[in-house]
Structure 1
Amino acid sequence: MLILAGLGNPGPRYAGNRHNVGFMAVDEIARRWGFGPERSRFQALACEGTIESPQGPVRTLILKPQTYYNESGRAVGEALKFFKLTPADLVVFYDEIDLAPGRFRMKTGGGAAGNNGVRSITAQVGADFRRARIGTGHPGHKELVQGHVLSDFHKAEQVWLADLLRACADAAPLLVAGEDEKYQAEVMRLAPAEKADPRQLRGG
């Protein structure tokens, strides 16, 4: 069993926000691989299915915490405990302001880098979970960050966003096989994005 958790805020008000790109990514994976219907479970919306990996089918649970972004760890911790899983069996998809829009990076462990959802999960299960980081860019100044992440993607961003979400789903066999570096490379091959200088994103 593998858990793919997407971070976001519940309800239609937030559905198009940059902060909800984690929800968008796991929704696309569920669609692509024909997962079952969502139901309320573990303080989250959850659905189950299988993803075909090179080694065979992998039973997968998709989880969208409904606790609001900053308390995501409550749902994730509950699900891991129920299935007796370890952080290595968890992949969290979330928005990363320190990556240029459209960039995608995998990593395991590390700090929260100011992301309260990641901090909440770390407090519940430890830091050694796998992270699928979707770049949304930095607004340039710290005081603008909250407004940036809680605003919708611009119309001009919809093309790269759709391509990237589709790539995350199409490349999922590599993810469930534990091939995180190959997964990252395949997502970026399917949905290439310009590499921007983070200093420019921060307005200097």
Structure 2
Amino acid sequence: MGNAWLVVGLGNPGRSYAAHRHNAGYLVVEDLAGRAPVGFTHSLRLGADVAQTRLTASGDLGGVGDQAAKVVLMKSRTYMNDSGRAVERVAGYFGIKPESVVAVHDELDLDPGRIRLKFGGGDNGHNGLKSIRRHLGTGDFYRVRIGIGRPPGSQAPADYVLTGVPTAERESFDVDIARAGDAVLTLLSQGLEAAQNEFNS
């Protein structure tokens, strides 16, 4: 288990974006903060909302002592396309290397209900990942991808991701968010292979 982790929830700040599919990453880190439980502090200097907790060897948040790994949860206060700027600042402030960064984000090319974890690789057109890669100077960080599926009919992908989840789908979406939180904790406590074996679908 690493000494310190940065879990980045990708999304857009502000109430008007809060329930959008594109804010799945935000929702996961909020879920994790609630499990600790810890609150977020807004930092103008870092350009992010940040919460700190610790993870026990058994994968539980809210641990204490030097044997528990530090976990920093963050939501960028910049928009998705520029989220890497805040990630760079937060990682630098806490002394966290790119290989201990976990980016949690929505994924059009995965059906709803599916989760994928990986280390490195391409950005698949996701502007938040592109921004993180640009500001960290590497793509060698972890990704937890939450499937939201492709838009129906002829709806543009950009419009689809920036719409709220319909009421009929909200319960299953909330389950997906909680499972993605479980996947993050498994990754941090047991490693990538164990998390992939349990959650990749």
Task: Please report the TM-score for the alignment, with normalisation by the length of structure 2.
Answer: 0.86
Aligned equivalent of 1:28: 31
Matched, 1:18 2:25: no
Letter in 2 for 1:107: K
Aligned AA for 1:88?
E
Aligned CA distance change for structure 1 residues 19 and 171 (closer, same or farther; 3 Å): closer
Deviation at 1:135, TM superposition (A): 0.4
Answer yes or no: is the 8 Å Cα contact 2:144–2:180 preserved in 1.
no
- Structure 1 segments of 4 or more deviating over 6 A? none
Change (3 A) 1:179 1:165: same
Q: 1:185 Cα shift?
A: 3.9
**Percentage of matched positions with identical amino acids:** 34
| One-letter amino acid of the structure 1 residue matched with residue 194 of structure 2 | K
Question: What is residue 11 of structure 2 aligned with on the other side?
Answer: 8
* TM-fit CA distance, 1:165: 1.9
Does structure 1 residue 50 correspond to structure 2 residue 54? yes
Match for 2:143: what amino acid? R
Whole-angstrom distance in 2 between the partners of 1:142 and 1:117: 24
Per mean C-alpha deviation after superposition, the further-off stretch among 172-181 and 92-101 is 172-181
Give me the whole-angstrom Cα distance separating, in 2, the residues matched to 1:8 and 1:173: 20
Distance 1:133 1:10, change over 3 A: same
Report the AA paired with residue 169 of structure 1.
Answer: G
Give yes or no for contact 2:117–2:142 (8 Å, CA) kept in 1: yes
| Residue 104 of structure 1 pairs with residue 108 of structure 2 | no
Q: After the TM superposition, which residues 1-204 of structure 1 pair with which residues of structure 2 at under 5 Å, given as runs?
A: 1-35=4-38, 37-41=39-43, 42-54=46-58, 57-125=68-136, 126-139=138-151, 144-177=156-189, 179-187=191-199
Distance in 2 separating the partners of 1:171 and 1:96: 15
SS in 2 for 1:53: coil
**How many equivalent residue pairs?**
188
Q: Aligned partners of 2:146, 2:5: CA distance in 1, in Å? A: 20
2:64 aligned residue = none
CA root-mean-square deviation: 2.0
Contact (CA 8 Å) 2:146, 2:180: kept in 1 or not? no
- Gaps in structure 1 of 5+ consecutive residues: 189-194, 196-204
Cα separation, 2, equivalents of 1:178 and 1:44: 28
Q: Deviations over 1:13-44 (max 9, x none)?
A: 00000000000011101111212x21122100
TM-score (norm 1): 0.84
Q: Distance in 1 between matches of 2:185 and 2:27?
A: 18
Per-residue displacement from partner, 1:94-123 (whole Å, max 9, x unpaired)? 000011111100011111111111000000
**Counterparts of 1:144 and 1:117, CA distance in 2:** 18
Deviation of 1:179 (Å)? 1.3
Please give the secondary structure, in 1, of the residue aligned with 2:74: strand
* Structure 2: unaligned runs, 5 residues or longer: 60-66
CA contact 1:104–1:184 (8 Å) conserved in 2: no
